Amino acid sequence: MKYKVKFIPSARKDFDKLDGRRKILVAKQLVKLENNPFAGKELGNKAGIDLTGYYKLYADKKKIRIVYAVIEERVIVKIIAIGERDELAVYREAAKRIKKK
């Protein structure tokens, strides 16, 4: 069964800001999620940032992190944030976006 990859609006902006080479590398990972939404690693509570129930997947030799959720009943992979592997910045941003829902 194929899952549909959807972006929240701010994650779409993250993707659009990437340069061409990185867009291709991230897009390849997103295609992978269509067939195997659990390809990434489960996140939890790290440094006070609670992303329990969410996943991460790397792109560009682990320089880019993709944070996402799997919504099984709707067969959707929802992309929450895409960003540089800079400390925990992408996780903090993902947590902010999740709280805004």
Task: Please determine, for residue 94, whether its predicted confidence score (pLDDT) is greater than 80.
Answer: yes
Write the pLDDT tens digit of every residue in 16-43.
999 999 999 999 999 999 999 999 999 9
Nearest to 66 by CA among 44, 45, 47, 39: 39
Number of domains in the chain: 1
Name the residue range of residue 21's domain. Answer: 4-100
Rounded to whole angstroms, the Cα distance separating 46 from 30 reads: 24
Supply the CATH number for residue 66's domain: 3.30.2310.20
Write the pLDDT tens digit of every residue in 29-88.
999 999 999 999 999 998 899 999 999 999 999 999 999 999 999 999 999 999 998 889
Q: What is the pTM of this model?
A: 0.94
